């Protein structure tokens, strides 16, 4: 494929706003080379030319880079801990008007899972989830709220019956849940972060980032949380330097900002 990958990264940043230098290079380069081969292209510059001309391939490329893998209530035991331990404490400390951010929300499984979990403690009309991702196509899919059987396999049966409608072989989440989520485009590596959150959920995304990029994102999350707020991360992630970020660890996947 040639030795022009560094130049390719610069051009991708200019075209998409995605900084490939913040991703683990060996893993990401292998993914990109596989996609480029699909279009019978032999060098990076030719693929950049295609991205400039073909909007469909451009959007496919962005979706491919963002590695969207998601499901409702992924790692159920961690959601159970949040439901039974984290949310009651946050409600006790801050009341029911919680500010919650689902960062890198992918196809919407996570913010919708948050709404359903919160509904056990808070009336639906008092729940608002701020959900962001850098992939416009994925955000549109999230807004539609249509999922296959595999995606909703982890949804408890009572919630499935209450909040989903079957459409052919798929399931659509009901409007009363969709209306509680505000979806917006955002790049964790370049955009400003919103603030004053009581809970931030960002799971199974940063594993693709370099250590420097991960540390920068965790530091920004710490700044975005109110004192006493909680960060919920993925089962393959950890914050090594959490004490220097003013976090204390509640358990392996939940970090609370020191009050």
Task: Give the pLDDT band (50/70/90) at residue 68.
Answer: low
The mean pLDDT value for 203-231 works out to 93
The mean pLDDT value for 66-73 works out to 73
φ/ψ of residue 60, rounded to 5: -65, -40
Question: Residue 94's pLDDT is what?
Answer: 97
* Contact present, 107 and 204 (Cβ < 8 Å): no
pLDDT of 175 higher than 90: yes
DSSP structural state of residue 192? P
Question: Residue 96's pLDDT is what?
Answer: 96
Looking at the domain covering 76-257, what would its CATH class be?
alpha beta
Please give the span between the terminal C-alpha atoms of the chain, in angstroms, as a whole number: 52
Average per-residue pLDDT in the chain?
A: 90
Other C-beta atoms within 10 Å of 128: how many? 15
* Contact present, 220 and 194 (Cβ < 8 Å): no
pLDDT of 69 higher than 70: no
pLDDT of 2 higher than 60: no
SS3 call for 75: coil
Q: Exposed, middle or buried by CB within 10 Å (0-12, 13-18, 19+), for 171?
A: buried
> Residue 23's beta-bridge partner residues?
209
pLDDT of 48 higher than 60: yes
- CA 3 to CA 43: how far, in whole Å? 9
- CA 217 to CA 120: how far, in whole Å? 31
Least Cα distance to 183 among 107, 71, 118, 234 occurs for 107
Question: Residue 27's pLDDT is what?
Answer: 80
Q: What is the pLDDT of residues 15-43, one digit of tens each?
A: 877 788 877 788 888 888 888 888 888 88
pLDDT of 1 higher than 60: no
Task: Kindly give, in sequence order, each residue whose CB lies less than 8 Å from that of residue 140, ignoring residues fewer than 6 positions away.
Answer: none
Sheet strand arrangement including 164-167? 146-147, 170-173, 164-167
Question: Residue 226's pLDDT is what?
Answer: 97
DSSP structural state of residue 195? -
Q: Where in the chain is the domain with CATH 3.40.50.150?
A: 76-257
Task: Give the pLDDT band (50/70/90) at residue 4.
Answer: confident
The mean pLDDT value for 177-196 works out to 95
Question: Residue 223's pLDDT is what?
Answer: 97
Q: What is the pLDDT of residues 77-134, one digit of tens each?
A: 999 999 999 999 999 999 999 999 999 998 999 999 999 999 999 999 999 999 999 8
């Amino acid at each position: 494929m040639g030795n022009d990958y560094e130049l390719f990264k610069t051009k991708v940043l200019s075209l998409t706003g995605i900084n490939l230098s913040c991703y683990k290079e060996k893993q990401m380069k292998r993914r990109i080379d596989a996609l480029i081969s699909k279009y019978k292209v032999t060098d990076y510059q030719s693929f950049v030319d295609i991205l400039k001309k073909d909007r469909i391939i451009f959007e496919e490329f962005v979706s491919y880079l963002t590695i969207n893998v998601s499901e409702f209530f992924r790692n159920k035991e961690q959601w159970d801990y949040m439901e039974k331990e984290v949310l009651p404490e946050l409600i006790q400390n801050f009341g029911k008007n919680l500010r919650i951010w689902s960062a890198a929300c992918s196809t919407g499984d996570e913010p919708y899972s948050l709404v359903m979990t919160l509904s056990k403690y808070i009336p639906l009309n008092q729940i608002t989830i701020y959900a962001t991702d850098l992939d416009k196509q994925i955000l549109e899919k999230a807004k539609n709220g249509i999922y296959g059987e595999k995606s909703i396999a982890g949804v408890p049966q009572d919630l499935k019956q209450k909040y989903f409608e079957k459409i052919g072989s798929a399931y659509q989440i009901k409007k009363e849940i969709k209306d509680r989520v505000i979806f917006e485009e955002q790049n964790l590596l370049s955009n400003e972060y919103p603030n004053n959150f009581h809970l931030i959920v960002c799971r199974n995304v940063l594993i693709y980032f370099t250590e420097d990029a991960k540390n920068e994102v965790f530091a920004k999350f710490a700044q975005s949380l109110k004192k006493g707020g909680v960060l919920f991360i993925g089962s393959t992630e950890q914050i090594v330097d959490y004490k220097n970020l003013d976090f204390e660890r509640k358990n392996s996947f939940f970090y609370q900002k020191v009050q």
